[in-house]
Amino acid sequence: MAQITVTTGRIVGQVDRRIFGGFIENEGRAIDGGVYEPESRFADEAGVRIDTRDAIAGLSMPVMRWPGGNFVSAYHWVDGVGPKDARPNRWDPAWGAVERNQFGTDEFMTYCRDLDTEPYLCFNMGTGTLDEAMAWLEYCNGTEDTAWANLRRQHGRDEPYGVKYWGLGNEMWGDFQIGHLTAEEYAAKAKRWALALKRVDPTIQLVACGRDGLHADWDAIVVEALVKYVDWYSMHIYTGSDDHWSNVLQVHQVDRALEYAGALIAGARYRQGVEHPVHITYDEWNTWFATRNDRRRGELVQERHTLSDALAVATYLNIFVRRSDVVKMANIAQVVNVLAPIVTGPDGVLKQAIYHPFAIAAAHTQELAVDAYVDCPRYEHTEEHNDRWEHRVGDLGPFPVLDVAATRSEDGTRLVVSVVNRDPDSEHRVSVVLSDATFAGDVTIRTVSGPHPLATNEWDSPDVVGVSEAGLEGAGQTLEIVVGACTYTQIDAAIGV
């Protein structure tokens, strides 16, 4: 039998709810046809699809990043404000499509307000200028009688939006990025921008554009140069495979990346005497690149997510919880249609497999991450398989087949244990042992499951991968449950001392 030993008094981090953030980009059908579709019978008078927005609300996202992504590196925000019939069509060189600019800054802000989520905007550091960036910041946050603040007022928004999070570019390290830069060029430019932008609004928090924590040629240079001037360091990761074990185990790359990037940041802060915190935001992460992926231009990356992907997503979230000492924000990429938990169609929305673990974790994860030690079989994936991911030693194990994270409430009355059973063949009997507390009454067990690892939800069978809920009575220090093959199980229990 597997054993999970939880020590509720050993706190490993304060969980920041911003790890359940999202990202939407003007790409494919994410915005046009996803979030915004005036022709849809589900649209309100502003053209916003209410069914999509309701489905996003079910993910309880505290922060939403927009407008890109690669798109932002040629985006001029001015094109997306003012009367809609006067907004220009522009060629989007990132994704090879026409951008109609019908969903811009004001529409995004209204969307965030209605979802009760905080906006996180990203500057165009590709074709954009510093002047344009400062103007956007002033348009959003300006309180004085200035032309940019007045333009916002003219567009019907008297109160400033007070946007707190601003990204200094997107993936500027890649030659696929419009206007990409070397690490040294980026560091110098981002520093100049940061100093100027904080003159416009000193209350903003700036996000440096990182890579993945593992590329010394970018991460080390950029962290060292910018740690004084920014509040966040962003990293991106996409993993994925049609091979189940590879798909779920690749996610552990995050642990290694966090170790490296966390150390880079800690070292740079120490050497330079930087007192303010610089947290990591995984502001793009998800499963992608599977061979089932449809990457045709125009119908971009409308990934069909499997049960295996749902377990990968649950593992990502467990890692963010376990590493909540350094990760204070994460944004699943993306939220609608593109690589997304939510897919839209003429008859409504479809919740893909990955929707369910995200929704459950976002709704029930508690405030404090606590120590959870799992004793169970370990697995190393050595079989040949067809992947797009280049593996190094240790990338695919050995890792415990059960991935576990535990959180408890500040007042110590509630414990939530997330168990991802990546084993496609066997259920496991699990004994959850509390070393310093007892189960004290109601226990809710939520389970995400499906018939096999590659199961997907489709329009004519939307609940193949779904959620079930059961209740138990807990008492004493031990609770025994069985986690089925290929399942995500959340144990949500009342506890006492």
Q: Catalytic site residues?
A: 171, 284
Residue number with the shortest CB distance to ligand AHR? 69
Strand-pair category, 402-408 with 414-421: antiparallel
User: How far apart are CB 1 and ligand AHR at their closest, in Å?
Assistant: 41
Nearer to ligand AHR by C-beta: 170 or 447? 170
Q: How long, in residues, is the chain?
A: 497
Nearer to ligand AHR by C-beta: 141 or 337? 337
Nearer to ligand AHR by C-beta: 13 or 69? 69
Nearer to ligand AHR by C-beta: 283 or 492? 283
Do the Cβ atoms of 67 and 122 come closer than 8 Å? yes
Nearer to ligand AHR by C-beta: 295 or 429? 295
User: How far apart are CB 334 and ligand AHR at their closest, in Å?
Assistant: 5
Q: Is the dihedral of CA 128, 335, 213, 94 positive or negative?
A: negative
Q: Give CA–CA dist 201/196, Å, rounded.
A: 9
Do the Cβ atoms of 422 and 398 come closer than 8 Å? no
User: How far apart are CB 403 and ligand AHR at their closest, in Å?
Assistant: 24
User: How far apart are CB 250 and ligand AHR at their closest, in Å?
Assistant: 16
Residue 404 phi/psi, 5° resolution?
A: -130, 140
Q: What is the DSSP letter of 395?
A: T
Residue among 284, 283, 359 nearest 328 (CA): 283
Strand-pair category, 466-476 with 438-449: antiparallel
User: How far apart are CB 171 and ligand AHR at their closest, in Å?
Assistant: 5
Nearer to ligand AHR by C-beta: 172 or 404? 172
User: How far apart are CB 60 and ligand AHR at their closest, in Å?
Assistant: 21
Do the Cβ atoms of 188 and 225 come closer than 8 Å? yes
Please give the residue ranges that form the binding site for ligand AHR (CB under 6 A): 25, 68-70, 170-171, 284, 333-334
User: How far apart are CB 64 and ligand AHR at their closest, in Å?
Assistant: 14
User: How far apart are CB 55 and ligand AHR at their closest, in Å?
Assistant: 19
Rounded to the nearest 10 degrees, the angle between the axes of helix 130-141 and helix 183-200 is: 40
Other beta carbons less than 10 A from residue 440's beta carbon: 18
| End-to-end alpha carbon distance in the chain | 25
Q: What is the DSSP letter of 310?
A: H
Residue among 476, 480, 479, 481 nearest 437 (CA): 476
Rounded to the nearest 10 degrees, the angle between the axes of helix 183-200 and helix 219-226 is: 30
Rounded to the nearest 10 degrees, the angle between the axes of helix 50-57 and helix 105-115 is: 50
Nearer to ligand AHR by C-beta: 148 or 282? 282
Nearer to ligand AHR by C-beta: 34 or 68? 68
- Our measurement of the distance from residue 346's CA atom to the centroid of its chain's CA atoms, rounded to an integer in Å, reads 27
Burial-class residue 463 by CB neighbours within 10 Å (0-12, 13-18, 19+): exposed
Nearer to ligand AHR by C-beta: 20 or 439? 20
- Our measurement of the distance from residue 484's CA atom to the centroid of its chain's CA atoms, rounded to an integer in Å, reads 27
Q: Give CA–CA dist 128/113, Å, rounded.
A: 27
Do the Cβ atoms of 155 and 81 come closer than 8 Å? yes
Residue among 286, 379, 372, 284 nearest 321 (CA): 372
Do the Cβ atoms of 81 and 53 come closer than 8 Å? no
User: How far apart are CB 214 and ligand AHR at their closest, in Å?
Assistant: 16
